[in-house]
Amino acid sequence: MDLQGDVDQLTEVANTHGQLLSYHRLDVTDPHAVSKTFETFVPGLRYPIRGLVGCAGVSDNDPAHEFSVERFRRLMEINVTGTFSLAQAVALEMKKANVDGSMVLTASMSGSVANKGVDTAGYNASKSGVLQLARSLAAEWGSRKGMPLIRVNTLSPGYIRTPATTEALQKPGMEAQWTGDNMLYRLSLVDEFRGPILFLLSDASSFMTGADLRVDGGHCAW
């Protein structure tokens, strides 16, 4: 996926406000690459890292009886192991700087319910893993001696209209089913997740940790 256009747009916004945006390509499944990336950019920061939004993830679908173990492993490596590696790296930086912080790990409503009309057993299992990972990290980093206080929560989006869902939505009847499965009868837009993420990162959620914020248009409330 070509992200250069998005990066250019973010850079323009940062420049408008007199801020600096830096970015690094990273394979989150490679722990060595994660460590090296942090070693590269952290020394140049003006302030310690206080927050993480872990949103590296992929989806894949096919009937479970036809789904190869290799494809299943790839989902787990990126969605679960990659999320853990990022959270671990940021926690170590917070510990080194002795600062408290907040993490938002991207899960999915699919980590709590099965999806109608699509066969995504591997993806759903991986997002359930992210939910439990966040709860476990929250328990460790909320009050452990020798560690700063790090709140860890998850964001569970419902169906979103993005380039990643374009192919699925072209399946006859799929968009009607997805929109009809939630209480607002539409798909969400990427911009609708800015507020929830900022809420979880900020002191507005100072008494939240180990929690999941589900933003799914009421899909799971039926």
The residues assigned a catalytic role are 123, 127
The rounded radius of gyration (Å) of the Cα atoms in the chain is 18
Q: What are phi and psi of 53, to 5 degrees?
A: -115, 105
**Which residues have C-beta within 8 Å of that of residue 133, sequence separation ≥ 6?**
80, 83, 84, 87, 105
Q: Distances in Å between the alpha carbon of 176 and those of 75, 79, 96, 135, 152?
A: 27, 28, 50, 34, 35
In the numeric block, which tokens belong to residue 29?
Answer: 């499944």
Please count the other Cβ atoms lying within 10 Å of the Cβ belonging to residue 158.
Answer: 21
Instruction: Determine the Cα angle at 29 with ends 21 and 57, to 5°.
Output: 65
Listed residue (98, 205, 192, 185) closest to 148, CA to CA: 98
